Amino acid sequence: MNESGLAQQLLNLIRGKQNINQVWHCATRLRFTLKDRAKVPKDKIEALDGVITVVEASGQFQVVIGNNVGNVYHEVVKLEPSLSEGETSGETAAQGKMTFKSAFNSLLTFISGVFTPFLGAMAGAGILKGLLSLAVVMGWLTAKSGAYQIWWAAADGIFYFLPIALAFTAAKQLKVNQFVSMAIAAAMVSPGIVALGAKATTIDFFGIPVVPANYTATVLPILLVVVVQKFLEPVFNKLWHESVRNILAPVCLLVVIVPLTLIVVGPISATVSSWLATAIVSLNKSVPILAGLVLGGFWQVIVIFGVHWALVPVMMNNIAQNGTDLMMPILLPAVLSQAGAELAVFLRTRDAKMKSLAGSSTITALFGITEPTIYGITLKLKKPFYLACVAGAVGGMIVAISGAGANAAALASVLSLPTFIGKGFGLSVVGDVVAFALGTVLTYFFGGINAGAKTKIAPSANSELGEALAAPVKGVLVPLTGLADEVFASETMGKGVAIVPENGMVKAPVAGVIRLLYPTGHAIGIQSDKGSEILIHIGIDTVNLKGKHFQPLVAQGQHVEIGTPLVQFDHEAIEKEGYESTVMMIVTNSDQYQIATLGQGATDDRPVMTLA
């Protein structure tokens, strides 16, 4: 499916912009904050072509797309221009009672919304910094050469003026005047203020001493400043008449907040930043094995739950305070171990579709994008994910012992290695290699990659001509286009048939392998031995029953023959609950076939569809 079609389907299933508070994207995910989560069918979104999976974490509804997420996001915005990155659509949902969980989720949403818009540019600049460091070490360039100075300006600019970039995105998140925020940040990194900080020269503001500090490349000070602006801006907006408000309100904000920042907010945040950086450095120095074990082994788990954003400002703060960050190199084994596990799946799997996905995902994982690897392969197979975490822990401990640090912020990937050049670099590379190799070996031999697969899957849908699909349930055949569910009725998921059941036994319509089995039992996916991909969905909106009235009779990965019982369900009880019990059989890769529906009326064991 193309990006525009996927964007339209996502908006339809999420119930349009009226159900969206915010939408933005990171490297692989569309991130939504929704007004009413109950209106959104997670299973239907996960079934869309182009969607890897759906994750609900940190108060966000995250649709994992992969490398095309930027294109899908732009198509979403093109369809609904009001949903520009980080902005809200209409009125926000009513605020419930504040709890620790809701406050923490709000903080994570704020931090991720602040960093994601320019994360790519910042990561690219960080990699360029590392490459320049490598060039100097290898003697390819000197620090005084013109090429080095120009490229260093390109690499260092976004970090030097980081408060200005953060001011823009933070103000967008908090709905305050972005350009006033940028003006305040620009004052913090202006040449005069930077010079005072460099010389440790104390000045006074009407008799109040101003302690010098360097705000270039810092994170926390400007974020606190924008929070202060959030409270003061409405006060000054109310103070002035609308005829002069756009000029005099910014004047008041600059007159008040800039001195307040340099006198109070800046020194406090600088002190907190220093304490935080010292604590992390002390932990890494005193118990490096523990730091490596936790970060290397559990980093991908942290990513899954979305709380990794809480550590991004910490790592950047470490670089600003100490010149290096000891956490970032430890994360690379966690990434490379997943890439190794993915490589093992690629080498060993007999499933053509999984082999294709594993091959491409291995490459993206090496370059720091692990979501397609995790959600598409390792986490789905379970054992490869766990074994990769073990490998990441081992590699992380080695890297932690090395004492290597990153001198620039970048995505943890093979491209970030040059940013670690310095103390302990050689041993840290050993840890990275161990993590990758161990992830590959453990998964290859103990990952259970082909468990349950009794026959080899045909490599393509056209490996043999023709295939007949039997009725999955006995009943009355009805047109798919007449269903109340617009996703099935529109045939956007694929062509198929619908059957009003006479009994509660769903049987395999074809011989193949169970590739998808929802824990609720309401939907099951089969890849036939000839390559067709079939989704059997029992009822409409029956996911809301959470497994009630359904009993799966097979397991994911199991090979079945035509007529094998798959799911037993109570169609009468389902209808009494207020749901339709119609069974849909959809060929999700129907674009590869000429499809014919056979007959009308009551079904039996004879074919109801043919694929050619």
Q: How far apart are CA 548 and CA 539, in angstroms?
A: 12
Q: How many residues does the chain have?
A: 612
Catalytic residue, candidates 25, 26, 308, 522: 26
Options 25, 308, 522, 537, the catalytic residue: 537
Question: Is the CB of residue 386 less than 8 Å from the CB of residue 112?
Answer: no
H helices present in 261-366, as ranges: 266-286, 288-304, 312-322, 327-348, 352-366
Task: Give yes or no for a contact between 603 and 499, defined as CB atoms under 8 angstroms apart.
Answer: yes
CA atoms within 13 A on the CB side of 77: 17
Our answer to whether residue 389 is catalytic in this structure is: no
Backbone angles phi, psi at 485, to 5 degrees: -85, 115
Q: Give the Å distances, CA to CA, from 482 to 22, 40, 449, 499, 501.
A: 34, 22, 40, 11, 16
Q: Using CA atoms of 141, 146, 147, 150 in order, give the dihedral in degrees to the nearest 10.
A: 130
The encoded tokens of residue 453 equal 């697969």
Report the alpha-carbon distance of residue 465 to residue 443 in Å, rounded: 35
Distance, in Å, from the CA atom of 39 to the CA atom of 541, rounded to the nearest integer, reads 10
Dist CA 23 CA 197 (whole Å): 39
How many helices (H) and strands (E) would you count in the chain? 22, 20
CA dist 11 and 563 (Å) reads 37
Give kind and range of the element (H or E) at residue 611.
strand 607-611
Tokens for 271, please give them: 């002190």
Strands 208-210, 467-470: pairing is unpaired
Q: Is 456 left (phi over 0), alpha (psi -120 to 50) or beta?
A: beta
**Residue 522 annotated among the catalytic residues of the structure:** no
**CA proximity to 501, closest of 588, 579, 587, 609:** 579
Q: CA angle, 424 as apex, 420 and 430 as ends, to 5°? A: 85
Cα(275)–Cα(312) distance, integer angstroms: 16
Give yes or no for a contact between 504 and 582, defined as CB atoms under 8 angstroms apart: no
Cα–Cα distance list, 148 to 103, 128, 131, 399, 531 (Å): 45, 11, 11, 29, 54
Strand 559-560 and strand 595-597: the pairing is: unpaired
Tell which residue, 409, 404, 411, 385, has the closest CA to residue 301.
Answer: 385
- For residues 78 and 84, what is the distance between their CA atoms, to the nearest angstrom? 9
From 592, 548, 580, 302, select the one nearest 460 (Cα to Cα): 592
Nearest partner of 126 among 379, 416, 325, 484, judged by Cα: 416
**Calpha distance 495→475 (Å, rounded):** 19
CA pair distance 120, 114, nearest whole angstrom: 13
Strand-by-strand arrangement of the 559-560 sheet: 559-560, 512-517, 523-528, 533-538, 583-587, 495-501, 475-478, 601-602
The residues assigned a catalytic role are: 26, 537
